Amino acid sequence: MRCLFQLFQTKNIMGVKNKTQVTVFEFSGLTDDKLVALFLFLLFLMVYIVAVLGNIGMMAMVHISPSLHTPMYYLLRYLSMVDLFYSSVVTPKMLSDLLSERKLITFMGCTLQFYFFCALAGTEILVLSVMAYDRYVAICHPLHYVSVMTNKKCLSLVILSFFIGFVQSVAQTSSLFSLEFCDSNLIDHFYCDIPPLARLSCSKIHTCTIVTLFFGGSCCLSSMTIILVSYIFIMNSVLRINSASGRRKAFSTCSSHVICSTIFYVAVVCAYYHPSSSTLKTQEKVSSVFYTVVTPMLNPLIYSLRNQEVKKNIIRLLQKRSHSHI
């Protein structure tokens, strides 16, 4: 990440100042205007409620609907579970801070927030790549789909995604919070993240930069590679289908995943892959809000609105519910 490289160069020039380690951090938050803060609180509270209900609803629907007991929806259920926890790591604290005069978090609280945020973000990236592989097998090798994407294999891939996500987070969290924070305790952000914390450090961040680039870059690049390669093969297979209806059907099974993956990666790139500049800190916060708060809400909505099988099951469940009240 370019911003981390520039931070490293800055830290090499700076001398080490006061050695008193910070025990409590304070966030600058999203805004200092109370009216704007109240508006954002109501807006993001609604977004968070929709995210929680949407992801729980998606998991429940996949569980109780026999027609959704396929590998694609099995993986979607785990994506919803990751989104549910992922949004809950940052959003409740952010909502509380919007109504608070001082936005404080302890050193340990900051460490735990970053650890679970980093772990779940890494897991989400990897689950999205597993879902791309699932679509590749379904479209490019339809006759072998059932034998390749077994429940056991799906579970193994999900467990591997969680394992890698949480292990890489251990490495990034250890390297970040082994730094000394002895100059200021004001984090110019609304949650604990690498760039604003690195800017606060009064020690050299060379090791932290290398660890972050290696683990964060490896997860992102490997996932993006799997997704891009899968869709190159998918496009090649779909274009060979003679009937227009067959092509539309094949594309429709992939469109929800493509949209969710694109939104997530665009937000991440906008938040992290930019030059370190004070004029871009607002962009960094906006992008961070999008992929920490908004994206977990959008995923179940996108799958609900664009996936015909999910829409059919939602209508069927609503009809059953209305008949039961008659």
CB count in 10 Å sphere of residue 8:
17
Distance separating alpha carbons of residues 246 and 238, to the nearest angstrom: 8
Angle between helices 34-64 and 308-325 (to 10 degrees): 90
The per-residue pLDDT for 277 is 54
Distance separating alpha carbons of residues 256 and 300, to the nearest angstrom: 10
The per-residue pLDDT for 275 is 60
The per-residue pLDDT for 251 is 80
Distance separating alpha carbons of residues 225 and 315, to the nearest angstrom: 36
Low-confidence ranges of the chain (pLDDT < 50): 1-2, 4-18
Name the nearest CA neighbour of 190 among 55, 289, 67. 289
- Range(s) of the domain holding residue 51: 2-13+22-325
Tell me the Cα Rg of the chain.
22
Distance of CA 184 to the CA centre of its chain: 29
Distance separating alpha carbons of residues 85 and 81, to the nearest angstrom: 7
**130 and 161 Cβ atoms separated by less than 8 Å:** yes
Q: What is the CATH number of the domain that holds 224?
A: 1.20.1070.10
The number of domains in the chain is: 1
Q: Is the pTM of this model over 0.95?
A: no
**246 and 217 Cβ atoms separated by less than 8 Å:** no
Count Cα atoms within 13 angstroms, Cβ side, for 245: 0
The per-residue pLDDT for 201 is 86
Distance separating alpha carbons of residues 193 and 206, to the nearest angstrom: 17
The per-residue pLDDT for 276 is 58
The per-residue pLDDT for 107 is 93
